[in-house]
Homo-oligomer: A and B are copies of this chain.
Amino acid sequence: MPTLSEVARHAGVTAATVSNVLRGRGRVGEETRLRVLDAVKALGYRPHLAARALAEGRAPTIALMVSSIANPFYPEFALAVERAARESGHFVIVCNTNEDPATGRAYLEQIAGTLSEGVLVTNANLDFADLHKTEARGAPVVLCMWERPQEPPGLHCVAVDFRLAGELAGTHLVELGHRRIGAIVGSKVSGIHAARYQGFLDAMTQAGLDAPESHLRRAPDTVQGGYAATRALLEAEPGITAIFASNDLPALGALHAAADLGRQVPRDLSVVGITDIQPAREARPALTTVAVPTAEAAELAVGLLRELLAASPDYVGAAESAPRVCTTSAPKLIVRSSTGPARAQ
């Protein structure tokens, strides 16, 4: 659905003018009024559908819990959730837990079932016990971006095959002739990037290649984390010709480290990430990555939550019923400019 801003841009007026025309308020010249109405028609804008629902006090609000609003993935995901939610007249409030389970618990207790009808949870580092309690109070919970479709979490969830994402990234590097491949993994051994790293190891095994511990660095899931880990890795193992990073942020850090070490990408070093966040597309060289279907996951999550809400007040939490698992379509390799053939040693 087009936004009011898009209507305004199309008509060459301000958003306030569009709003005035649609509400019959303010002083707007006839020619401008007609131009705005033409733009409304041309774009198929439906004024205030969701806004009206909210103002009428139907409290059609969804809470989206994110672990770190500073990680650009989450704002992108929040935007996709909003787009999907708007279709059913739902508004989204974003709660940032800063990876603190106690903060997350407090948000859940304050918001779920009162201000918000239901809760979408990304990897917000929450206790599952708290999520079950939220469900028991009658507010459905959907986990988004669950990383292991084969091991459902006991809660309703949208799952993405992140093991496959890791395998696609690893296979891409192998097919380019790389043999000594470094891995930057943005979580602990049992953490949320474990499935991605397993996929990478699967690709290496399939190719009969070694993935020694000395080629692995665990690092914070940030640009800075990837930067430091890549510098350390390349200094310790200068024969490495490619880097697999379990997320785009550390992959972008790897690009910066290569630049600062005087290694040209992709001639001297190939780098591949996972997710396809916007900065990956905007980097120079643009980052090769395995895109996960973010918008699709958001749509599935909102759709699932909507079904659960429609079933209430007969709603029973996932603990009492069989939790639903929706799996997105498969991640896809996007080849850009950060990967190339391995140089002959």
Contact = CB atoms under 8 A, between A and B. Distances in A.
8 contacts: A51-B106, A54-B110, A55-B110, A78-B96, A82-B96, A91-B110, A93-B95, A279-B279
A213 interface: no
A34 interface: no
A59 B111 CA distance: 10
Contacts of A5: 98-100, 125
A324 B329 CA distance: 53
Given A72-B72, A223-B282, A284-B259, A79 B106 contact: no
A37 interface: no
A208 interface: no
A256 interface: yes
A211 interface: no
A315 interface: no
Given A109-B54, A110-B54, A69 B61 contact: no
Interface in A249-307: 252, 255-256, 259, 278-279, 282, 284
Contacts of A188: 14
Contact of A19 (B70, B76, B94, B127): B127
